[in-house]
Structure 1
């Protein structure tokens, strides 16, 4: 236990850095987009590549850690992660950043599951819940704090330091690591690596992750997505067949004979699925719809970060004293209730219900995640413990990736509906304005152009509606002055019963000056009145669009409420405590 107290801080730092980099980029994407001058769709690969490779490499690297040494694997992972962070922070362009993010993700996949196994193996059975409490708590906190830390660092130090700040912390962790953990005489197991099985499971996770992440962008029925889905299915079937036949499987399938493991795996997918929706949608809702700055948005979702950490830690410490089914069921019920509160968010920037809801979400997630994180390893030691952690981490990632895929697709559809509804409203609003038909036609054309922009990316989620208004060119003003002057000179000639050409030059000049002043005054008044009308109309349209976009996000999140309630049924898979 004394050894564990020395080692645990080292493992915590590594877990904190790796898991934070899963979510930290979400808040700084606009700044990086401006710096590299690339589309958000291209830049999204900086997020996707980290998530995809992280999920893909966990199982093979976990098995390699058993053969070559868990301590060595974590140390190597820290070095790789640090190099990737340095490359990402110093990236001169997007391709260089993608390489850096890929290296980061491989390092993270080497650290996360293996460090949990190290901590568990150093603890006695009675203290496993405390180890899980610390490591799972810091992982949950890291993912939740990512946007907040990213927003703060980017605003005051620049977006590059979001990644460069990892480097000194990694160096510190490495120095302590080589002191407290053995490397030369570390115990290893001479197991064979099933490279065919490794390739099949990597292909499965890669194709599945890519299909889920890009489905809403490329189209769920596109040949690319259907091909990836088919490849994932075939690879998975091949993996299962291979694992049943080989004497050295990548994953011991007997894990799935444990009801606690099965129930925990399902619960991990579900709770991360529900958490992912909040993490993916809320920053965009607050910044693009409610007009909050990145930092303010991050601060407003910080309460749920703290709630996740405290709930995971406290639940892990109390899990042996309370009924596991009660904890999991209560957690899912709280998640459902939290989303009911969150989906009451008004457009008036009153955040009380949001804050209360996100705290409930953090508590509910902690109740589920902490309980199943302990149950998923409760029955295993040695290689099986490593396998259980690898599978558990994959399932967490699948839950998050599935969440982003499903809810981004739903959001895209709901946003398009919101814009179409607002466009219909804008036509009605413009038709009621006290302006000329020409102005109405021009306004409707401009509004239609704005609202029919591509909405396949959440970068198009905003309430920016503007109309430059009308102006009258100098040429048109002169034309109007000439016409009015001709009319006035005709009147003068008629009064004096003389031809227009006989009107004295001084009088002609006087008439022209007076007409010019009067015409410009009239035009200016008409332009001012017209633009005031347009401004009122645009303000009404902008308010309606904000309301409709807000409803689009909330409608997307409302889907979770019945799903979370149904998830309570997962408790029937767990075995009763003795």
Structure 2
């Protein structure tokens, strides 16, 4: 399978199409974090509803993305890429027209199916089409460009939400997707591994899809029903059993969607563990920073989105440069320093208490965001290049699918487990805040019941203005307490990611290539 230079005409068309398509998927994730307050208000969604809006997409993406990578390797990377884009456009259109939270959750499932075919195709096209000597630079360019658009998502989402146009977060995907489909059809050649005759691993897909769904459902139900209820322990236990079943299926299958032999390579194993911890911390951190800013600190949704611009600038300036240096010197140093600094930034952000709003941004949120953004900018391109460089060319689609699946599973973990934990921490902190206040047991129960809505908790009806003021202050104090603890956990995940690089990635880039599977 012939490759082309990064700067050739074909190489540029591959880069342009993969960047635009990936940006569609990634922008939804970051923009949604900012528009969640508007979405919650307009669709009358509860806190668990919000997490399901995020997780419905991530679940389907995580469970099917491995099949997407395998299909691309077997049927043609461009063909499967285009089918994914088309389904993603349909799902985005339906999401934009949703009138209830339930409808939005259902249509996010369609988006997830499209994304599962689309996202692994982007890196697989780059890895199979671009010359190996320039692959790190190409992936760095892809990382920088997609991150620029992705991190611009909060500003775009905030502007649209403040204008009452949050639905256009979904509608904007339609023209972008149509343009990409046109250029793929007319400018990019099909790239197919003729030697790959694997069948599709449907049993593995079913096991991981239901396993992740049950785990997520169980964790999201814990704050409402407790671990002693079957919806809690039953769903979590069944989810864990199905994930074990998935591993057994993959071990015995002659055509596994996740070939376990790939994990015999320490680079591949280490980078995927690093991916899980780093993206779990990233997902939780970004979500709770946005909720804190808008629902507690008094930022508008546009202001909240703009606060991430320093993050964006670092990613644009550093990602491609870090990718080039990783090609030359190997990824290890970047994959230690990057996640460590990202964790340090999240730790700094965890100490923020009640502020004076956007005017205090420069001395409160900005330092942590700068350190966080700089760390992520060092890690993203070398991480992707290390994953793709640790396997041979006919496994690029599968490797991309596995790595993307793990990053999305990390997102599900962050939203379900840490989201559930945030409600429990908020409830505990709020009980402590109101225990000395002169409310009846029934009133205290009604106040505590609002913790499932996190920062959007409402004051129960029938109270005096003075009582309402006290409850609002208690809500804010309780949420900030929970926010700080969740951010510290997120920071710990960043530090764990750095540890994975220390333990598993000990070879230079040249030796890594020689050790590929």
Q: Normalising TM by the smaller chain, what interval? A: 0.7 to 0.9
Q: What corresponds to 2:143 in structure 1? A: 136
Note closer, same or farther for the CA distance 1:423–1:258 as it changes in structure 2 (3 Å cut): same
Contact 1:420 1:451 in 2 (8 A): no
Q: What corresponds to 1:70 in structure 2? A: 77
Q: Which has the higher mean CA deviation after the structures are superposed, 76-85 or 261-270?
A: 76-85
Provide Cα deviations, 1:85-107, integer angstroms capped at 9, x if missing partner. Answer: 11221234444433432221111
- Is 2:248 aligned against 1:249? no
Q: What corresponds to 1:367 in structure 2? A: 378
Which one has the largest radius of gyration? 1
**Distance in 2 between the 1:541 and 1:90 partners?**
36
- Of 452, 455, 458, the residue aligned with 2:448 is 452
Q: Which has the higher mean CA deviation after the structures are superposed, 271-280 or 218-227?
A: 218-227
Alignment of 1:218-297 (within 5 A): 219-297=226-304
Deviation of residue 459 (structure 1)? 5.0
Q: Which has the higher mean CA deviation after the structures are superposed, 190-199 or 397-406?
A: 190-199
Note closer, same or farther for the CA distance 1:141–1:109 as it changes in structure 2 (3 Å cut): farther
Structure 1 unaligned segments of length 5 or more: list them.
428-442, 470-533
- Of 153, 156, 177, the residue aligned with 1:149 is 156
**Distance in 2 between the 1:383 and 1:445 partners?**
64
Contact 2:52 2:105 in 1 (8 A): yes
Provide Cα deviations, 1:41-97, integer angstroms capped at 9, x if missing partner. Answer: 445433221111111110112222222211111111111111111122123444443
**Distance in 2 between the 1:214 and 1:135 partners?**
38
Deviation of residue 299 (structure 1)? 1.8
Deviation of residue 354 (structure 1)? 1.2
Contact 2:63 2:205 in 1 (8 A): no
Note closer, same or farther for the CA distance 1:240–1:92 as it changes in structure 2 (3 Å cut): closer
How many residue pairs get aligned? The number is 496
Alignment of 1:26-425 (within 5 A): 26-42=33-49, 44-156=51-163, 158-182=165-189, 188=194, 189-212=196-219, 214-216=221-223, 219-322=226-329, 324-349=331-356, 350-351=360-361, 352-425=363-436
Structure 2 unaligned segments of length 5 or more: list them.
512-517
**Distance in 2 between the 1:423 and 1:450 partners?**
12
Note closer, same or farther for the CA distance 1:347–1:466 as it changes in structure 2 (3 Å cut): farther
- Of 500, 504, 507, the residue aligned with 1:576 is 507
Deviation of residue 180 (structure 1)? 1.1
**Distance in 1 between the 2:387 and 2:225 partners?**
35
**Distance in 1 between the 2:206 and 2:250 partners?**
12
**Distance in 2 between the 1:345 and 1:181 partners?**
49
Q: What corresponds to 2:514 in structure 1? A: none
**Distance in 2 between the 1:210 and 1:449 partners?**
24
Q: What corresponds to 1:517 in structure 2? A: none
Alignment of 1:395-544 (within 5 A): 395-427=406-438, 448=444, 451-458=447-454, 460-461=456-457, 468=464, 534=466, 543=473
Question: Greater RCO between the two (CA within 8 Å, min separation 6)?
Answer: 2
Note closer, same or farther for the CA distance 1:42–1:417 as it changes in structure 2 (3 Å cut): closer
**Distance in 2 between the 1:316 and 1:308 partners?**
11
Q: Which has the higher mean CA deviation after the structures are superposed, 546-555 or 44-53?
A: 546-555
Note closer, same or farther for the CA distance 1:418–1:79 as it changes in structure 2 (3 Å cut): same
